[in-house]
Chain A
Amino acid sequence: RKEVEQDPGPFNVPEGATVAFNCTYSNSASQSFFWYRQDCRKEPKLLMSVYSSGNEDGRFTAQLNRASQYISLLIRDSKLSDSATYLCVVNTNAGKSTFGDGTTLTVKP
């Protein structure tokens, strides 16, 4: 079993739709969690951190469920520019991160 697992998708949604991605992790000692966005043939860019209390940044909401060991990303009112691959990242200590393989989102007009 992989340490971090994501549904690879692809998720194909129309503009304006709400879409949610989940990511599960196996190490209960994991300490910090993030979502990154990666455009085709580009480097990953930090999208947002994920906290137990949940956090929101505009149309994006991230949640952490420690009991079930998963994190989620919700995107509301999808835009064409949201099309990308979304990577979840789990850290067990400051020196090492484990990335999921990513979930691909395509937003269509």
Chain B
Amino acid sequence: SQTIHQWPATLVQPVGSPLSLECTVEGTSNPNLYWYRQAAGRGLQLLFYSVGIGQISSEVPQNLSASRPQDRQFILSSKKLLLSDSGFYLCAWSEYRAYEQYFGPGTRLTVT
């Protein structure tokens, strides 16, 4: 069966510090991968999605970036965090050309 991992579960970082969140999927090949952010009490905002290694589409211009160095690995990064980057970051996967998405446990980021 498929499993999706995210780490860390929680993170407190000062403004201006870098960020690296990692997501890995097991039990499937060539998945679509997604990064979402959810602000407190709000819906999910799609940040990036990827249909293959090195193929990243950005949905929202901001100080975040994403990379997919391996088929089942998706990384979200920032060089300098802003207060507005605080939120619940969720990684998700779907089968290639499928619509159903499955989420990892998320990383709760607080920028202070």
Residues 60-96 of B at the A interface (beta carbon under 8 Å)? 88, 90, 94, 96
Number of A residues with CB within 8 Å of any CB on chain B = 22
Q: Smallest distance from the beta carbon of B87 to chain A beta carbons, Å?
A: 12
B21 within 8 A of A: no
Residues of chain A lying within 8 A (CB to CB) of residue B98: 94
The complex places the Cα of A43 from the Cα of B35 at a distance, in Å, of 12
Chain A: minimal CB distance from B21 (Å) = 14
What DSSP secondary structure best describes chain A's contact surface?
strand
In the bound complex, residues from chain A placing their C-beta under 8 Å from that of B46 are 96-99
In the complex, chain A residues 71-109 whose Cβ is within 8 Å of any chain B Cβ:
87, 89, 91, 94-102
Chain B interface residues (CB < 8 Å from chain A): 32, 34, 36, 42-44, 46, 49, 51, 57, 59, 88, 90, 94, 96-106, 108
